[in-house]
């Protein structure tokens, strides 16, 4: 079966790299991959604004993702962010493909597959990459080597493979995600994205979430609360109006929205 992955044009690559403030030469090696992931984490927010405000359905077509994330300087959720980032990696010459993932909230709570990740093969070694999880994932490429503890900017992660071939991704001592190395096609994620965005009971429909990593912490919006963590110090600010929300989005996430195109928070 011929893959349906779409590559970016040179113009799109150049603008994408500017969008994430990537200023080095873009090569298809591990050092560049780690830089790309870090730049993406600190430049492009995870956000579900369109889903929360009912701007549906979401398109996962590469050109539409580019228009939203790069041209309009927005963010997105995993199906969008990891979808476009995969197109960038493949265009740069990386041997990369999409992977299915299962989010783990509690050990006794098995949730359906609802997350899109990326696997990259470099010289026979495989790495898990994720720029679309909203903060908990490593800001670099995680080597899929069983029980190998790895540190990224002060955070530790360990991949542990189970008897069925799934990789359990641990942050410190807690499993936060499960993934495998099976390659999926872009069309495989359309029903998953619809499941996470269109159902009335979908979490992304009922709670506003925005998250962006910074050099010394992170900025986030959790429902009607703006949270900043700077050098381990946490502050919280209630968001009481759409006007206040648009100001916070512009000042802390570089997202500029028209107030009259969105409803109440």
Phi, psi of 247 (to 5 degrees): -65, -45
164 is catalytic: no
Task: Judge contact between 220 and 236, C-beta under 8 A.
Answer: no
Considering the candidates 39, 40, 41, 115, report the single residue annotated as catalytic.
115
Structure tokens at 205: 């429909």
130 is catalytic: yes
Considering the candidates 40, 41, 78, 196, report the single residue annotated as catalytic.
78
Classify each residue of 195-228 as buried b or exposed e, where b means 16 or more C-beta atoms within 10 Å of its C-beta: ebbeeeebebbeebbbbbbeeeebbbbeebebbe
Classify each residue of 101-121 as buried b or exposed e, where b means 16 or more C-beta atoms within 10 Å of its C-beta: bbbbeeeeeeeeebbbbbbbe
Considering the candidates 39, 130, 139, 218, report the single residue annotated as catalytic.
130
175 is catalytic: no
Residue 110 to residue 103: CA distance in whole angstroms: 9
Catalytic site positions: 78, 115, 130
């Amino acid at each position: 079966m011929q893959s349906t992955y779409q590559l970016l044009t040179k113009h799109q690559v150049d603008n994408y790299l500017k969008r994430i403030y990537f200023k080095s030469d873009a090569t298809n090696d591990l050092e560049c991959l780690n830089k790309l992931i870090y730049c993406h984490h600190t430049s492009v927010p995870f956000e579900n604004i369109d889903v929360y405000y009912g701007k549906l359905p979401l398109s996962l077509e590469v050109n539409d993702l580019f228009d939203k994330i790069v041209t309009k300087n927005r963010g997105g959720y995993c199906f969008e962010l990891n979808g476009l980032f995969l197109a960038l990696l493949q265009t740069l010459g990386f041997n990369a493909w999409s992977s299915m993932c299962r989010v783990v909230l509690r050990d006794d709570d098995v949730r359906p597959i609802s997350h899109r990740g990326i696997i990259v093969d470099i010289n026979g070694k495989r790495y898990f990459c994720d720029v679309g999880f909203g903060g908990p994932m490593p800001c670099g490429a995680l080597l899929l080597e069983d029980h190998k503890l790895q540190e990224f900017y002060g955070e530790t992660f360990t991949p542990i493979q189970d008897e069925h071939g799934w990789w359990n991704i641990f942050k410190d001592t807690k499993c936060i995600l499960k993934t495998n190395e099976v390659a999926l096609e872009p069309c495989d994620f359309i029903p998953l994205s619809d499941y996470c965005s269109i159902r009335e009971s979908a979490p992304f429909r009922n709670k506003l979430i925005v998250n962006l990593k910074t050099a010394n912490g992170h900025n986030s919006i959790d429902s009607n609360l703006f949270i900043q963590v700077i050098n381990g110090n946490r502050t919280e600010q209630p968001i009481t109006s759409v006007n206040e929300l648009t100001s916070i989005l512009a000042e802390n996430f570089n997202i500029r929205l028209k107030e009259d195109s969105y409803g109440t928070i």
